[in-house]
Amino acid sequence: MSTDKPGVSLALLIPPPLVVALFGIMMWVCAQEFGIGRFVLIWPDLVIGLLLGGGLLLIGSAAGALLRARTTVNPLRPGNASRLVVTGVFRWSRNPIYLGDLLLLLAWFMWLGQLANLLLLAGYVGYMNRFQIMPEERILAQRFGDAYLNYCARVRRWI
């Protein structure tokens, strides 16, 4: 389903950074409202630091690979992609930026220490699969054909 602009899907209306922020806010509210399910980590600074660092590294590496290939980094306009990037972090994940975002949310989950937020983490993955990744995949399959389908057969959606 698309609008009259090429490469624009009605599902691709909310920028992924805004989705991450909204899920982060919902997690914070959940942590404030629910007293049951609290936990404390052993070595929280190390665990949270590794998740934050890993997430930022994935996001930066993926964005850098897209920029070096001189293709779009804009997730709302996958139809503007001029090249299929399958090297670097894209060898292990078709969506390393969204995986990096998930690691940031996982770090937030650890910092908040509220087990109920696991449901929101699962909700983030479900939302991204349905409303961001699947529309992107349809557009990229149309744009790059067999090259993209072969890439999908070799590399998993998340990890």
pLDDT in tens, 44-53: 999 999 999 9
pTM of the model: 0.92
**pLDDT tens-digit series, residues 23-33:** 999 999 999 99
Q: What tokens were used for 69?
A: 């290939």
- Domain boundary assignment for the chain: 43-154
DSSP string, 36-56: TTB---SSHHHHHHHHHHHHH
Chain mean pLDDT for the chain? 93
Whether the CB-CB separation of 106 and 37 falls below 8 Å is answered with no
- The overall longest dimension of the chain from CA atoms, in Å, is 53
Q: How far apart are the first and last CA of the chain?
A: 27
Evaluate if residue 83 carries a pLDDT over 80: yes
